[in-house]
Structure formats: C-alpha cells, structure tokens
Chains A and B, each alone.
Chain A
Amino acid sequence: MSLTWRDRRGRFGMTVLLVAVAVALAAPLVTNGHPDQQVDVIQTRFLPPLATDRHGAWHVLGTDRFGRDVWTRLAYGARISLGVGVLAVAISVALGCLVGGVAGASQGWLSRGLMAGTDFALALPRVVLLLLLAALWRPSAGLVVIVLGVTGWMGIARLVYGEVRSLSARGFAENARALGATRRRVLWRHLLPNALTPVIVAAALGVGNAILLEAGLSYLGLGVQPPTASWGSMIASGRDTLVNAPWVAAAPGIALVLVVVACTLLGDALRDRLAPHTT
C-alpha cells in the first residue's frame, strides 16, 4: 500500500478514487436536494455553471433541461457507476478464479475443457453479447452488473490458470500435498492466495473498463433507466443540448475520464510494484 503511494501514478489514482468513493457515499451531505428534483422547470433550466437560481440555490455545475442540479446528479450517479464497476469486476474475479483455479489444479479433460471454453468465450464479441443481453431483458443496474460480470471473467481465468500451474510445481505446494492436504485444500489455501497478485492488477484495470461499458450501455438507453442518474444516461441527455448547454454532457464525461484514468494508473502502479514481470 505505502509502496504504491510512493509511486506518483498510484498516488493520483488512489486520491481520485478515494474522492469519488467519498462523494458517492456522502452524496446527500455534499449536495442539496434530490437528484431527480425539479423545483421550477421553466425558471431553473439550463443555468450555466456557478449560477444562482431565483430561489437562491447555487448550482456549481449548472442545471439540465429539467432544471435538475448537474452536480447533485453527478454525485448520485457516481454511486451507480462505481457500484456497477466494482460489483461487475467482483463477479468476473470470482468466476475467473473458479474456472482458472480448477483448470489449473486439475488434470486431463476437465482442465482442457475449461480452458477451451475460456478461449471460446474470449473470442466472442463482447459488445454484441452485451447489446443482446441488455436489450432483451428489461434494463436495470442489476442486469448490467450481471451482464458485465459474466462477459468479463475470461482474461482473469487465463491469468489464474497460468499462475496456479506454475505455483503448483513449487516446493510449498509439494509440501502441502505431502502432508496429506486434499487437492481442494491445496488449491484454496495455498495456490489461489499466492496467485492473487496479477488478479488484483487485472481487477483494477477491469473496474475502469466496466465503468466505461456501463456508461456506454446507459448512453444507448440499454442500461440504467431515466430518471435515475447515471453518468452514461447524463451524457445521453446532454446530447440534445450540446449547443446551448454543453456542461450537461461535459461534466459526466470528465468525471468518467478522471475515474477511468485513475483506475488505469493505479493498475499500472500496482503492476510495477507487485508483479513487475507480467504485462
């Protein structure tokens, strides 16, 4: 942790992510009002950033076409974006560890079958699957989490497979087996914990990717549905008012870029510190 902090990239990544998580958790405290609140649509719509409306409320990032405060929606939207990103990657990591770990620790047809399945799933076009899955059932945040999680585990499974394979030839795994530990116990207590380092790096990079894809699905109208605030749907709603209210689309986009850059830099810093030999 402290080593990663000493890296400039790690410091930037952690700071941005901590701020984003804090804003998401403390959204009711750092904003005034509800994200879907429309006080006075005619009088308060399309206020530019830093404007004060007729009722004396101050809008740091302005308001959208329904007079809703952009900063408030951004803060509540962070809950969706970050939550979906983290949960989706959690599902991917769990699936990837399960498939990769079992394939790495077993022999013969089970191992070969699992890895062949992984390679097959890796070759499927992810966005086509995402579009199908998200469009065919009623869109919701939960569905997006599951869809992103289920289509994102293959890379992690391959990483875990490779690690477990090389670790199980090492002395400590041999010792554990000699002491009479079952294959399952060796895998869960000895091999997987040691294989986690590259997984952490992949997960940090994966969170950024999942956040981008969630926003993309919401942008296409296949993710989180209005009026719920999500960064992707905010960009979509700002699309029609690019000329007279560019801040509506610009603000969530900049927030997205910052968070994804933070995830990428944190992942890079972690990789250089923890696992310098993997790329």
Chain B
Amino acid sequence: MHARILAALEPGREIVAVLRHLLSRLAVGVAVVAGVVALTFLLLHAAPGNPVDYLLGPTATPSQISATRHSLGLDQPLPKQFASWLSRFGTGDWGTSIATGRPVREMIATAWPETAWLVGLSLLLSCGLGVVVGALQAARPGSRTDAALSIGTVTLYAVPSYWLGLMLIMLGTYQWKAFPAFGAAGYDADFLGAWARFLDRARHLALPLLTLTLIGIGGMARFARGAMVDVRREPFVTAARARGLPPRGVTRHILRNALIPVVTLLGLSLPALFSGAVFVEAVFAWPGVGRVLVEAVQARDYPVVMAATAVSAALVVLGNLLADLWVNALDPRLQRQAR
C-alpha cells in the first residue's frame, strides 16, 4: 500500500518502471523462444534419419533421393537452411508438411485452440479447486481432515496422466458408456444443431479435462496448503487477530498473501501442464499441438516440428509473462522493487 501512496506522487515514474520491467521480461521470453527454435533445428539435423527416407521408402533410387532433397532445400548448408526458414517463418510462410502435404500454418491453426481449451480450462478448474482443498487443509494443520486430504493430493500428484486417462476410459467409456474416449467431436458433429453440437463437444472434453484437472489439483493443493500454513505464522496475521478482526477478515488477509506464490506457480506450471497435455492428447487422440508434435517428430517432418515447438514455446513464455504481470498487480511490494 505504501508503495502505491508514494507512487501516486509520481505516477509517470511507476509506469516507466513497469514498462521497463515488462520489456526486459519480453526480451528474455523472445530469447528463450529463439533458443528453443535454434536448438530444435540443430537437434533435428544432428539426429540420424531424414524425411526423404520416410517420403520415398526403401526402393528409392539415388537420383530420386537427390532430386527430392534438392526440391525440399535439404542440400543447402545448415546455416543457410536455418536463415531461410527463420525469414520465411517470420513473414508468415510456415511451409508445407513433408509428411502430409498440408500447409503447416493451417495444421497449427486448427490444433492450437484445442490445446488452449484443454489446458486453459483445466488450469482454471485445478487452480480453483486446489486452492479450496489447500485452504481446507491449512485451516487446521495436522488434523484428521488435513491428513486424509494430504493422502489424496499426494496420490493425485503421483499419478501418471496417461495411466489415469486409461483408467477413466475404462470407467467412463466402457463401464458407464457415458463419455467418448477419442477425439474432440463425434463423426456426426457437422450435422448437429448448435445445442447438440455443444453437448457433443462437452462430452468429448469431459475425460481429458478430468484427467488433467485431477492431476493439477494434486500439485496445486499441496502448494497452496504450504503457502497458507506459512502465511498463518506471519506476525501480521497475529496482529490482525489482536485488532479483533473477525475470522473471515483474517482469512482474507491470509488468502491475499498466500495467493502470490500460487500465481507464480501457475505460470511455472504451464510447461508441466503442457507436457501433461502431450500425454493426455496421445491417450485421448485429442487433435491438439501435442499430438501434432509427437506425430511430426516420429515422421521427421521438419517444418511441422519447427513450427509446433516454436508455437508451444511461445505459449509457455507468454503464460509465464502473464503470471508475472498478475503477481506484480497482486503484490505492491514488487512494484516498488522493480524501480
């Protein structure tokens, strides 16, 4: 609060400081994405196996191979290939997939909203529910409720996503026959009315979303519990109680401060969530970026791998940046430090 009062005298300086902080974070983010892309490029070309073998098969003649290599531009020196890829990628020409012949941009454009939906919704749900579970535990640390919930959260934290997905398929698809196990929409989705289509989407989303959310709750609740137990010990909580604040007011004090590390974790857990999504997408045949990436890596589909890694790295960096901004907004002490 103090920092805000001081800053109010010189509002211009605060904006400049925040902007400078934002710019430096943005520069780091761009460097990370560039690093990921360069590393991917090097790894792809250093590894044995190349797309031409996959494309032409074992019966190809040497002249066919060299002709295909030339048409794909693979006979150029590596730095030149990288530079030309980078300039084309930068201007929006992402090339065509070597394996499927489809434009890469179109593939990514249809895939990324699917991943974003899945990851975004599960992030929202697991964060909300996880904080609630953590708060229940932190209300009476060491109690029976706390112990029972701890066993639950540590188990969820340890469950492999692909296995939980399979077990949920066993229950939801085969036992209850309630939720489909594959894809994001039914085959007849295009012929359904708006409401029926929405229901169809929701039913397809249910199992993958539940898988990711359950696992997310495990980690989030463990962390939120720790953060809240720590904050409860702080002198300002005792002071608030001593001033005669009702329990609800004290809880608000605790929550506001305990949420700061939780939001930081939210940003940091994005890569983990994305990696969880890679496995979950593989289990449920969810048509997202993770699945595109896995298939492209297996087929040595250079343009698709490069675009998918660039986009996923950018999404992760962007998420971290947003979490950072949010923490700044939540915690005035940090705004003062940034100056």
Contacts and interface: CB of A to CB of B under 8 A. Distances in A.
B112 interface: no
A180 interface: no
B279 interface: yes
B325 interface: no
Interface in B12-68: 28, 31-32, 35-36, 39-40, 43-44, 46-49
B275 A124 contact: no
Nearest to A258: B158
B312 A125 contact: yes
B336 to A, nearest CB: 23
Main secondary structure of the interface of A (DSSP, over half): helix
Interface string A123-145: 11111110111011110000000
Nearest to A260: B158
A142 B307 CA distance: 29
B129 interface: no
A123 to B, nearest CB: 5
Interface residues of B, number: 47
A261 interface: yes
B312 A131 contact: no
Given A132-B44, A242-B169, A127 B159 contact: no
A123 B160 contact: no
Contact of B320 (A123, A242, A246, A249): A123
Interface in A233-268: 235, 238-239, 242-243, 246, 249-250, 253, 256-257, 260-261, 264-265
B256 to A, nearest CB: 19
Most chain A CB within a 10 A radius of its CB, from B31, B32, B162? B162
B184 to A, nearest CB: 19
B155 A261 contact: yes
Given A127-B278, A128-B312, A136-B48, A256 B160 contact: yes
B8 interface: no
B35 A131 contact: no
B161 to A, nearest CB: 8
Interface in A202-249: 208, 212, 215-216, 219-220, 235, 238-239, 242-243, 246, 249
Interface stretch (B116-124, B247-255, B290-298): B290-298
A239 B36 CA distance: 33
A253 B167 CA distance: 9
Interface in B288-339: 293-294, 297-298, 305, 309, 312-313, 316-317, 320
A223 to B, nearest CB: 12
Contact of B166 (A120, A235, A257): A235
A127 B294 CA distance: 11
Counting contact residues on chain A (CB < 8 A from B), the size range is: 35 or more
A279 interface: yes
Nearest to A219: B162
Contact of A249 (B158, B166, B230, B297): B166
Interface string B237-272: 000000000000000000000000000000000010
A24 B45 CA distance: 38
A208 B158 contact: yes
B163 A125 contact: no
B6 to A, nearest CB: 30
Contacts of B161: 216
B178 to A, nearest CB: 15
Main secondary structure of the interface of B (DSSP, over half): helix
B43 A136 contact: yes
Contacts of A136: 43-44, 46-49, 297
A133 B48 CA distance: 11
B299 to A, nearest CB: 10
Contact of A120 (B35, B44, B47, B226): B35
B282 interface: yes
A162 B194 CA distance: 56
Contact of A131 (B31, B297, B317): B297
Interface in A109-127: 120, 123-127
Nearest to A130: B275
Contacts of B163: 235, 249, 253, 256-257
Interface string A26-44: 0000000000000000000
A236 to B, nearest CB: 8
A279 B320 CA distance: 21
Contacts of A220: 279, 282, 294
A133 B313 contact: no
A257 B159 contact: yes
A126 B271 contact: yes
B36 A242 contact: no
B274 interface: yes
A132 B297 contact: yes
Nearest to A253: B163
Most chain B CB within a 10 A radius of its CB, from A128, A129, A242, A253? A128
A212 B163 CA distance: 11
Contacts of A131: 278, 293-294, 297
Given A124-B36, A219-B282, A279-B226, 5 more contacts: A125-B313, A137-B48, A260-B158, A261-B158, A264-B158
Give 6 closest A-B pairs by Cβ, nearest first.
A136-B47, A127-B275, A260-B158, A253-B163, A135-B297, A261-B158
